[in-house]
Structure 1
Amino acid sequence: MPEEKSLIFKVEEETELLKFLLKVMSNRSRNSVKSILTRGQVTVDEHMETKHNYPLHPGQMVTVLKNEEAKKENVLVGMSIVYEDKDVIIINKEAGLLTIATEKEKKLTAHHQLMEHVRRANPANRIFVVHRLDKDTSGVMMFAKSEKVKRKLQDNWKQMVKERTYVALVEGNVQQQQGVMKTYLKESKTHMMYSSPDRNDGQLAITHYKKIQSNKNFSLLELQLETGRKNQIRVHMQDLGHSIVGDKKYGSKQNPIGRLGLHASVLSFEHPFNGRLMLFKADIPKSFFTKSK
């Protein structure tokens, strides 16, 4: 039998992630366990987690990618490649992984990992960001493999992108089966996005929503974006009176799934060079279904 690439542990009691790992990996030093966490080798249920004090609850599953596997050149952390050709790369990103570098984190990003991936074939190869997903949003995402492709996609985004579907787990029982949110989004000095009803005040943002299922505590919604503004879905769900689960920034009061309840499930677009219609899907996280049943 081939050796397992990952170690999987079940959480039996309330604890914090680092404490839990030190207990189940008692053969390793504290520093070794900390570096496994920092390198993004740990997944809790359906998302990558690097925080030492991340709270764990009974029944959760913690997966640790073994060191030898993590060091292998072809292992991507917190993401997987769904499709690749000479022009584009499509990935399925886990919640917890940054799209691009920040002041604090330079390497543990989708962009950096894909850059290393393409440079293995040719050190001159590069990767270009076409659009972004927030760190805590999971799902399907596209990168370009040249400046020319990036420009073509960005300049013709509305014409070339045929479908962008998200699913959101939101607080409360959404009464309407479907609806449309249409506002003008602005950014405050503290980088909070907010809605204005005035057409001369901000960028037009349109979100279509449809209820998949709900109970008295949570609703699972399918969301189609007509525009792609910063934090658009998160603001619109707050405006609707049903903030996204785990979205403290935009009014959420609870987080029973340990992550932001937002997932990019479908991306469909015309290929930038051959015009072929491409469609990619990323499975909806199981916890979204179980909480809204």
Structure 2
Amino acid sequence: MHASLRPGSRHLPPGLVIIYEDRDIIVVNKPAGMLTMATETEKTRTAYYALTDYVRKGNAKSRYRIFIVHRLDRETSGIVLFAKTEVAKRTLQDQWEDTTKIYAAVVHGQMGKASGMLSSHLVESGVHKVYATRDAALGKLARTAWTVLKERGGYSLLDVTLLTGRKHQIRVQMADAGHPIAGDKKYGVKGDTFSRLALHARSITFAHPFSGRSMTLDAPVPSVFAQLVGRVEAEGAEEKMRL
């Protein structure tokens, strides 16, 4: 499988980078601040809209389409996987529980141990905010594994693996554990002035929907995270693919 030369890339907005593309899928590195898909108030400034325009090469009458497999919060940067056919979408979603999703997060405080597991039940309130509860009857089980990569001052850089996929899961569980993510305006520390949410979807491993071949795609940790914890990656800034 080879990525195309992407002749329609001129139609992509700044910051949205295609990591991999073939006839079945497109995988992108989404910038913080961009929606994955439309909302009632924002229809066009989304990754979905931009990629639809990209596959149509700017021709609104083109029959080419993009299908949403999953999403990231607007404030979260990193890898988002889209399908180019409905069959590919269904296949990817059917195997989603077997897909490995790893994030980089900078949280407030030091964790006190090298790694751990967060397990709680999450409930969404009527104001689109999520909170954690120990009452299994109220919410959906959420499990998150974390490992400390680096600590500096009052911050820790974590490698975070989603074991379930709940709304705002990492943000809520880290805040509930007393280590909110830096720059989180919804669940974070009052007065936190960091320029963005320090959460980034850095790696995804999945079976290709057509060939079944295992693929791992990586996106570099944003350089702005270094303002909190120093240099976070020694491999440079290029997106990577491992087959």
| Shorter-chain TM-score tier | 0.7 to 0.9
Q: Who is 1:48 aligned against?
A: none
Considering fraction of residues, name the structure with more helix. 1
Q: Who is 2:207 aligned against?
A: 270
Amino acid at match of 2:67: F
The alignment status of 1:171 with 2:108, answered yes or no, reads: yes
Q: Who is 1:132 aligned against?
A: 71
Amino acid at match of 2:34: L
4+ runs deviating over 6 angstroms: none
1:1-293 aligned at under 5 Å gives the runs 73-120=10-57, 123-159=62-98, 161=99, 163-293=100-230
Q: Residues of 1 paired with 2:157 and 2:150: CA distance?
A: 5
Q: Against the structure 1 CA distance between its residues 84 and 188, is the aligned structure 2 distance closer, same or farther, given a 3 Å change threshold?
A: same
Q: Residues of 1 paired with 2:216 and 2:71: CA distance?
A: 18
The structural deviation recorded for 1:73 is 4.0
SS at match of 1:250: coil
Do the aligned partners of 1:165 and 1:267 also contact (CA within 8 Å) in 2?
A: yes
Q: Residues of 2 paired with 1:75 and 1:249: CA distance?
A: 29
Identity, % of aligned positions:
45
Question: Unpaired segments of 5 or more residues in structure 2?
Answer: 1-8, 231-243
The structural deviation recorded for 1:97 is 1.0
Do the aligned partners of 1:185 and 1:203 also contact (CA within 8 Å) in 2?
A: yes
Structure label with greater radius of gyration: 1
Do the aligned partners of 2:75 and 2:196 also contact (CA within 8 Å) in 1?
A: yes
The structural deviation recorded for 1:254 is 4.3
Question: Unpaired segments of 5 or more residues in structure 1?
Answer: 1-71
Do the aligned partners of 1:246 and 1:254 also contact (CA within 8 Å) in 2?
A: no
Amino acid at match of 1:140: I
The structural deviation recorded for 1:191 is 1.6
The structural deviation recorded for 1:147 is 1.6
The structural deviation recorded for 1:142 is 0.3
Do the aligned partners of 2:56 and 2:63 also contact (CA within 8 Å) in 1?
A: yes
SS at match of 2:181: coil
Q: Who is 1:44 aligned against?
A: none
Aligned length: 220
The structural deviation recorded for 1:148 is 1.6
